Amino acid sequence: MRIGDFKATYATDQAIFDSPTSKFWMGVFFVLLAIFPFVAGDYLLFMANLTGITIIGAVGLNILTGFAGQISLGHAAFIGVGGYAAAILATRFNLPFMVCLPLSGLIAAGFGIIVGGPSLRLKGLYLCIATLSAQLILEFVFVHWESVTGGIRGINLAPPEIFGIILDNDFKFYFLTLPLVILCVTAARNLFRTRVGRAFIAIRDRDISAELMGISLVRYKTYAFALSSFMAGISGCLWVNFLKTVTPEHFPLLESVRYLAMIIVGGLGSILGSIFGALFMVIVPEAIKSVLGLLVDIFPTAMSFLFPLQQVIFGLLIVTFLVFEPHGLAEIWRRIKNYFRLWPFEH
Amino acid sequence: MDIFLQLVASGFLVGGIYALIALGFVLIYKATNIINFATGEFMMIGAYIFYSLTVYLNLSPLLSFPLVVAGAALLGAIVERLILRHMLGRPNISIVMVTIGLSSILLGVAEMIWGSSFRSFPPLFPRKPIIIGEIVLRSNLFYGFILAMAVVAIFLIIFKYARVGVAMRATANDQTAAFSMGINVKSIFTLSWAFGAIAASLGGIIIGNVGGVQPTLGHIGLKIFPIVILGGLDSILGAVLGGLLVGILENLAGGYLDPYFHGGVKDLAPFVVLIIILMIKPYGLFGTRELERL
């Protein structure tokens, strides 16, 4: 509950955490995040790392699609580029992880600009088709450029090492994922308080008006592609180092669709939404798996329905959210928060 | 030279079947401006229904065809009425994602009903290969091509002369004007989805007859995109032309380049061409440039 919350200066009005209440709850949240690895089991830690890595990817896609309004069906391929870059840099060039991480982000950003470049003239559906092709072409390269990517067998790599500590289990990796997630989320949240971020939103809302107002479409669309792919690259690098292997199967078209589904379910054009979406899309398949696991005693063949059932529920989620709650989980969260804002008073 | 002609000829036949599937996409896009990512899954469902009717129920193919047409029309209409109707006027990305979600649902349902294993159709056509000069054509492909072209022709005639077809063209041209002329635009939308689903599922039966059916058959639906970029998103004849071109292109690319890349070029080549075309002409080869006003 927050009461007596008045703003006297612009600085307080623009603050991200604009009231003592929200500062308090964020503090509690961070403390919980810090305690989490000490109480959670292996499975939960694994899921937490996975979620964190996914969040970075989802935030990246939301910058491009949710904020700048450019549909991308190739996000998984950019994550793949980051992943392969990380694996190749680490195994061929023996670079330390702390160098690989930003480099794989930059390499992915470079690819983003290459793919985004021709797409600058394309809009809406044509862009959608162009990024789809980029996804398929990159997938082909991952599989068939065997001398570099190792073909379908992929590349195995050693666990990453930071400041002399080898991150060889989920517990240690958590302390790499968490700061990076916080960094990326904060950076993205702040981006939309700057000129660049505002320009993205203007382009999304009406590109022609944006151009008339002096926003260079070419420049800002390129920024959007580069930033989004940079985050994808970071996410890919973490993902590969987490699994200690990279194969083309990790980055299919379906994965791109999954990322799009995440930001839609979470909320397009909302950083918080990307986090919710990523959490949701990691948890739901696991929940389906465990429910089916319980049913095995009654229906011995239940597990064979796992994949199709996940497909159906995945599709249903996308459709239901788009039809009934197009602003996603972030909007539901906002409504819940507003309800409790003045709770227990009604007005 | 023989190989070249052989590749072109069989590519041409495959392309004719692609044309029918692309028609299923264009019919929907033309009337409703919706990019239907689930076209491939409509195709797969059509093929499975046909398979079930002929194999499980032992119906004759001649009876199964109209039943599949009816089933597909129903599916298309239901999908439009239940889901897409709510999406009118929404941004492109939402509509694209709804159809992607739909394709995921259809894929999952098909796998639950029919399982993920591969099934081949009972023979529909005479087995004897067709030999023209030195070119040998698989009979399944040849008769499938003829069937596909016949269906495309029927759709073209409906569009040109039938009252419904004219109403659909009018709606595609200008929704408001069509509405004020007394055309029920909403039912035209439903009808376009029904027509689109029919075309796709008939294409699915033909493809399934050539190469068997499994839930992932719908992936062939991705080939629609190079086709429509080549032929224009809203042109029916363009879809036919694009289909034929893509069929020939992928067969040539597959025939000549696959040995160097250990396979996979066949499916990729159309997309590479697509990117090149889009770089030069952002609205596709025959697409109309969209004028935008503030």
This complex has an ipTM of 0.86
Spell out a b/e string for A254-279, using b for 16 or more CB atoms within 10 Å of the CB, else e: ebbbbbbbbbbbbbbbbbbbbbbbbb
Of B100, B225, B282, the CB nearest to A257: B100
What local confidence, expressed as pLDDT, does residue A1 receive?
52
**Number of helices and strands in chain B (H, E):** 11, 2
Contact assignment for A261 to B101 by CB distance below 8 Å: yes
Task: Verify whether the Cβ–Cβ distance A315 to B103 is below 8 Å.
Answer: yes
Q: A179: cis peptide before it, omega within 30°?
A: no
Q: Between the CA of residue A312 and those of A2, A126, A283, A327, B75, what are the distances in Å? A: 42, 27, 16, 22, 16
Which residue of chain A has the CA closest to B287? Answer: A126
C-alpha span between A151 and B49 (Å, rounded) = 37
- How many CB atoms within 10 Å of residue A19? 16
SS (H, E, C) chain A: CCCCCCCCCHHHHHCCCCCHHHHHHHHHHHHHHHHHHHHCCHHHHHHHHHHHHHHHHHHHHHHHHHHCCCCCCCHHHHHHHHHHHHHHHHHHCCCCHHHHHHHHHHHHHHHHHHHHHHHCCCCHHHHHHHHHHHHHHHHHHHHHCHHHHCHHHCEECCCCEECCEECCCHHHHHHHHHHHHHHHHHHHHHHCCCHHHHHHHHHHHCHHHHHHCCCCHHHHHHHHHHHHHHHHHHHHHHHHHHHCEECHHHCCHHHHHHHHHHHHHHCCCCHHHHHHHHHHHHHHHHHHHHHHHHHCCCCCCHHHHHHHHHHHHHHHHHHHHHHHCCCHHHHHHHHHHHHHHCCCCCC
Rounded Cα distance between B142 and A320, Å, is 43
Q: What residue has token string 């639906």?
A: B221
Measured between CA atoms, how close is A174 to chain B, in angstroms? Answer: 32
Nearest by CB to B271, from A137, A268, A316: name it.
Answer: A137
Letter string b/e over residues A292-314, b meaning 16 or more CB atoms within 10 A of that residue's CB? beeeeeeeeebeebebbbbbbbb
pLDDT tens-digit series, residues B123-143: 777 777 777 777 778 888 888
Phi and psi for A245 in degrees, rounded to 5? -155, 155
Please name the member of B97, B111, B226 whose beta carbon is closest to the beta carbon of A308.
B111
CA distance A74 to chain B (A): 13
Distance from CA of A212 to the nearest CA of B (A): 11
pLDDT in tens, B262-272: 777 888 888 88
Q: Which residues in chain A have Cβ-Cβ distances shorter than 8 Å to B106?
A: 315
**According to the model, what pLDDT value does residue A232 have?**
94
- Residues of chain A in contact with residue B226, where contact means CB-CB under 8 angstroms, are 133
Mean pLDDT within B187-196: 92
Compute the nearest-CA separation of B250 from chain A (Å).
14
Q: Among B79, B94, B104, B219, which would you mutate to test the A interface (most chain A Cβ atoms within 10 Å of its Cβ)?
A: B104
Chain-chain contact of B278 with A122 (C-beta, under 8 angstroms): yes
Query: Residues of A with CB below 8 A from B108's CB?
Result: 307-315
Interface test with A, best of B271, B289, B292 (most A CBs within 10 A): B271
> Cβ–Cβ of B102/A308 closer than 8 Å?
no
User: Which pLDDT does position A2 carry in this prediction?
Assistant: 58
Which residue of A lies nearest to B224 if distances are taken between CA atoms?
Answer: A129
Provide, as residue numbers in chain B, all residues whose Cβ is less than 8 Å from the Cβ of A326.
90, 94
- Residue of chain A nearest B84, judged by CA positions: A323
Nearest by Cα to A191 from A98, A68, A333? A68
Contact indicator for B83, A323 with CB cutoff of 8 Å: yes
How far is A110 from B237, CA to CA, in rounded Å? 39
Q: Which residues of A touch B87 (CB under 8 A)?
A: 322-323
CB contact under 8 A, A319 and B112: no
Chain B interface disruption, residue of A141, A311, A317, A325, most B CBs within 10 A? A311
Q: Which residue of A has its CA nearest to B261?
A: A144
**Residue B240: closest CA among B150, B179, B168, B111:** B150
Q: A121, A125, A208, A307: best mutation site toward chain B, by most B Cβ within 10 Å?
A: A125
CA distance B200 to chain A (A): 19
Are A100 and A43 a contacting pair, CB within 8 Å? no
Question: Which residues of chain B are within 8 Å of residue A264 when distances are taken between CB atoms?
Answer: 93-94, 97
Q: Which two tokens stand for residue A312?
A: 């159906």
The Cβ of residue A106 has, within 10 Å, a number of other Cβ atoms equal to 17
Whether residue B8 contacts residue B2, with contact meaning beta carbons closer than 8 Å, is answered with no
Q: Are A131 and A114 in contact (CB under 8 A)?
A: no
Q: Higher confidence at residue B286 or residue A307?
A: A307
- Look at residue B130 in the predicted model and tell me its pLDDT: 76
Strand partners, B131: B136
Closest chain A residue to B269, measured at CA: A137
Q: Which residues of A touch B90 (CB under 8 A)?
A: 322, 326
Collect all residues of chain A within an 8 Å Cβ-Cβ radius of residue B222. 132, 136
Instruction: Measure the CA–CA gap between A225 and A108, rounded to whole angstroms.
Output: 10
- Measured CA to CA, the distance from residue B47 to residue B146 in angstroms comes to 18
Q: Which two tokens stand for residue A68?
A: 């700048």
pLDDT value at residue A95: 85
The mean pLDDT values, 10 residues at a time, for chain A of 347 residues are 66 70 83 84 89 94 90 92 92 86 93 81 81 90 83 81 78 88 92 91 88 88 93 94 88 90 89 92 87 79 79 89 87 84 68
Q: Which of A69, A121, A309 sits opposite B282 (nearest CB)?
A: A121
Gap between the Cα atoms of B28 and B283, Å rounded: 18
Are A288 and A306 in contact by the 8 Å Cβ rule? The answer is yes
CA distance A44 to A279: 13
Q: What does the pLDDT look like over B35-78, one tens digit per residue?
A: 889 999 999 999 999 999 988 888 888 888 899 999 999 999 99
What are the start-end ranges of the E strands in B116-168?
130-132, 135-137
CA atoms within 13 A on the CB side of A113: 13
Q: Which two tokens stand for residue A338?
A: 């507003």
pTM: 0.89
Beta carbons of B104 and A311 less than 8 Å apart? yes
| Contact list, B79 vs chain A (CB under 8 Å) | none
**Residues of chain A contacting B98 with CB distance shorter than 8 Å:** 318-319, 322-323
Q: What's the rounded mean pLDDT across residues B82-109?
A: 87
**Residue A261 and residue B97: Cβ atoms within 8 Å?**
yes
Q: Shortest CB distance from A315 goes to which of B87, B105, B112? A: B105
Spell out the long-range contacts of A37-44 with Cβ–Cβ below 8 A and sequence spacing 24 or more: A37/A171, A37/A174, A37/A175, A42/A170
- Contact status, residue A250 vs residue A80, Cβ threshold 8 Å: yes
Instruction: For residue A269, give the amino acid letter.
Output: G
Q: Which residues of chain B make contact with A125, given a CB cutoff of 8 A?
A: 35, 92, 96, 233
CATH architecture of A39-341: Orthogonal Bundle (1.10)
Contacts of A257 in chain B (CB under 8 A): 100, 104
A140 and B279: CB-CB below 8 Å?
no
DSSP for residue B130 = E
Tally of CB atoms within 10 A around B5: 13
Mean pLDDT of chain B: 86
Question: What span, in angstroms and rounded, lies between the C-alpha atoms of B188 and A106?
Answer: 49
Q: What pLDDT does residue B48 have?
A: 93
For residues A197 and A194, what is the distance between their CA atoms, to the nearest angstrom?
5
Tell which of B97, B227, B228, B279 to mutate to test the A interface (max A CBs under 10 Å): B97
Q: For residue A188, what pLDDT is reported?
A: 92
Substitution target from A70, A115, A131, A136 for chain B, most B beta carbons within 10 A:
A136
Instruction: Tell me the average pLDDT across B18-42.
Output: 89
